[in-house]
Amino acid sequence: MNIEKEVKKLEEIECLLCCFKEKINDGLVRFTDPKLKDMYDHNYFYADRMDDEIFSICEKISKDEGCNHIKIVLDFKSDYLINKGFEEECDMTMLKIDDDYGTRFNDSLSFKNAVEDDIEQDIIDIDFKHYGKDYGDFCIRKDKRIIDAMKKNDGKFTFIAAYIDEKIVGFCSIVISDYVIGLDDLLVDEDHRHKLIATTLLKYIRTKYNKPIYLHADTLDTPKDMYFALGFKEISREYNYLKIKGE
């Protein structure tokens, strides 16, 4: 078994949990989420090249859909899009095959699973606490959209939340295949950081499901340093280009 191929397969499945996929032409695919049209990560183009032809198609489709942004995902860096005023973000796919997460953990944590436990409001509350000031009710709509998708996937897509004394202190989403787990949306409450919550949560997931874990990390953000320290290895990169209409 090629574990990196299994990661690619699960990444594709993960994209389709909330999105529809439409092939525009041989070099361009459109992903859309009609229930959350203002979420950049659910409404974007994936292209295997970037030129005037591809860009014009992306621009026209976005305009026709009334979308408030254009997001284009590439496997390569594009000066073409940077010159057109797009913001660039580079994400690494990071994989950890073994189960060695060190020896220091937070033993005061307990864990709940969104499939088995009623934690929807806890997820919404902690997410809104950290991002509500910047994103308003979008946080609530996003979480409800994802939870709705989770309920339709037989436990293969869920939130795992960490608690101290029945108070949520962190969470992440996971998607599960027969061979690997994809982890996303990792958040630790700002009042409980530097307490080994993220490490303990990762260890719990690795132990419970007994599968390698992959995740995505922004090359410019500090969480990647923690993942490298835990033994995650970079296996690929993806370049995200975003332009908000009117900016």
Q: pLDDT tens, position by position, for the chain (247 residues)? A: 799 999 999 998 998 999 999 999 999 999 999 999 889 999 999 999 999 999 999 999 999 998 989 999 999 999 999 999 999 999 999 999 999 999 999 999 999 999 889 999 999 999 999 999 999 999 999 999 999 889 888 788 999 999 999 999 999 999 999 999 999 999 999 999 999 999 999 999 999 999 999 999 999 988 899 999 999 999 999 999 999 986 6
Strand 233-244: give its sheet, edge to edge.
20-25, 28-32, 44-47, 69-74, 233-244, 87-96, 213-218, 181-188, 167-176, 157-164, 110-113
Give residue-wise pLDDT tens across range 92-117.
Answer: 999 999 999 999 999 999 999 998 89
C-alpha 166/C-alpha 100 separation (Å) is 28
Torsion angle of C-alpha atoms 215, 11, 9, 227, degrees rounded to 10 = -10
Task: Supply the Cα-derived Rg of the chain in whole angstroms.
Answer: 18
Q: Is the pTM of this model over 0.85?
A: yes
Looking at residue 155, its pLDDT comes to 80
Neighbours of 130 (CB within 10 A): 14
